[in-house]
Amino acid sequence: MLEIQNLTKVYGKLTAVDDLSLRLDGGGIMGFIGPNGAGKTTTIRVVATLLKPTSGTAFVDGIDVVLHPEEIRPLIGYMPDFFGLYDNVKVWEYLDFFAAAYRIPKSKRRSTIDDVLELTDLAGKWDSFVSELSRGMQQRLCLAKTLLHDPKLLLLDEPASGLDPRARIEIKELLKELGNMGKTILISSHILPELADFCNKVAIIEQGKLVVSGDVEEIMEQCRGGVVLKIGLIDRHEEAILFLQGLETVGEVKTENGLVAASYTGKPGEQHSVLEALATNGFKVKSFVEAEVDLEDIFLKVTRGAVA
């Protein structure tokens, strides 16, 4: 559905995107992750046909975005990171305007608008002024606008930025639903854990270069060894540390906020053997938790490698 090929974008002396290649099959949901200035927006804007690359190109559904931008536009829904607002415009007027711009026939506009309002949970707001909606609702309205022409590929540039935790969850649920509807989605963020549970692919970029891309699970797997067991003990901390260091399935051990943090290097799913060993040797364990490896950890690990 989306294939980015050797994409490079140079602004003056700065190479914002550097020979980036990326592939996303139909129905995939890819988290496009990188720190500020990594080149996410630049990449997305090239795919959205709003920016000409310096070299390289991208294909949407096999069509070249540089050569045939007008054929690309019906296929994509682009949600920018910042969007302007209109004073004195009502929700339905806003959507009707864009529906007309997308050349949706007048006879179909009403039902299309109802559908996207329903989907974005704004049905009750159709007659409200856009400027009077909360930030979270405005963000959902922008997404509704993006969905009017039923695009196959959604390009969402930080759709949850600036939202409170509740509004974030709402956007997340909505994106999950779009994924279930079979849309292909490229979604950028630097708030990593947020993407973990509904993306099936991830691409990490830094300084315009691709650091890693692939299935979320595969990348998690590559970063194994990052499982840390956090163990709370009633007493004998120092002894426990020495004991743990002697175990074959444990690597580095340190103290963290009164807990013993032991990196687990044994077989996946057999962490309980460490707990058993402690209990058998008379250590009084009051808590035993596996610190989850989330996308944030992966990100830090992978990019640290790249920078080094």
41: contact with Mg ion by CB under 5 A: yes
Q: Is the dihedral of CA 202, 207, 208, 210 positive or negative?
A: negative
Strand 2-11 with 14-24, pairing: antiparallel
* Residue of 13, 36, 82, 234 that binds ligand ATP (CB under 6 A): 36
Contacted by 155, from Mg ion, ligand ATP, none: CB < 5 to 8 Å by type: none
Query: Which bin fits 97, alpha (ψ -120 to 50), beta or left (φ > 0)?
Result: alpha
Please give the Cα distance from 150 to 148 (Å, whole number): 6
Closest to Mg ion by CB, 9 vs 40, is 40
Stretch that binds ligand ATP, among 19-27, 30-38, 115-123, 268-276 (CB under 6 A): 30-38
Whether residue 223 contacts residue 303, with contact meaning beta carbons closer than 8 Å, is answered with: no
The verdict on 43 binding Mg ion (CB under 5 A) reads no
Please report how close the Cβ of residue 204 comes to ligand ATP at its closest, in angstroms: 11
The one segment of 34-42, 98-106, 246-254, 255-263 that binds ligand ATP by CB under 6 A: 34-42
Which 41-80 positions form the footprint of ligand ATP (CB under 6 A)?
Answer: 41-42
Binder to ligand ATP among 28, 31, 34, 53 (CB under 6 A)? 34
Which residue minimizes CB distance to Mg ion? 41
How far apart CA 45 and CA 78 sit, in angstroms, is 8
Closest to 48 in 3D by CA, of 18, 73, 22: 73
How many residues belong to the site for ligand ATP (CB under 6 A)?
A: 13
For ligand ATP, the closer of residues 152 and 190 by Cβ is 190
Residues 6 or more apart from 243 whose CB is under 8 A from it? Answer: 277, 278, 281, 283
Tell me which DSSP letter residue 192 carries: -
For the chain, where are the alpha helices, taking DSSP H only? Answer: 40-47, 69-72, 91-101, 106-119, 135-147, 165-180, 193-196, 216-222, 237-245, 272-280, 295-307
Question: What x/- string results for residues 158 through 197 when contact with ligand ATP is judged by CB under 6 A?
Answer: --------------------------------x-------
42 binds, among Mg ion, ligand ATP, none (CB under 5 to 8 A by kind): ligand ATP
Please state, in angstroms and rounded to a whole number, the distance separating the CA atoms of residues 283 and 303: 38
User: In whole angstroms, how close is the CB of 157 to Mg ion at the nearest point?
Assistant: 6
Is the Cβ of residue 49 or residue 120 nearer to ligand ATP in the bound state?
A: 49
CB of 13 to ligand ATP, least distance (A): 10
Q: Which residues on neighbouring strands pair with residue 15, listed in sequence order?
A: 10
Confirm if 236 and 283 have CB atoms less than 8 A apart. Answer: yes
**Comparison of 42 and 120: residue with beta carbon closer to ligand ATP:** 42
Q: Which of 39, 56, 77, 151 binds ligand ATP (CB under 6 A)?
A: 39
Please report, as ranges, the residues that interact with Mg ion according to CB under 5 A: 40-41, 81
Residues at the contact surface with ligand ATP, assessed by CB under 6 A: 11, 14, 16, 34, 36-42, 81, 190
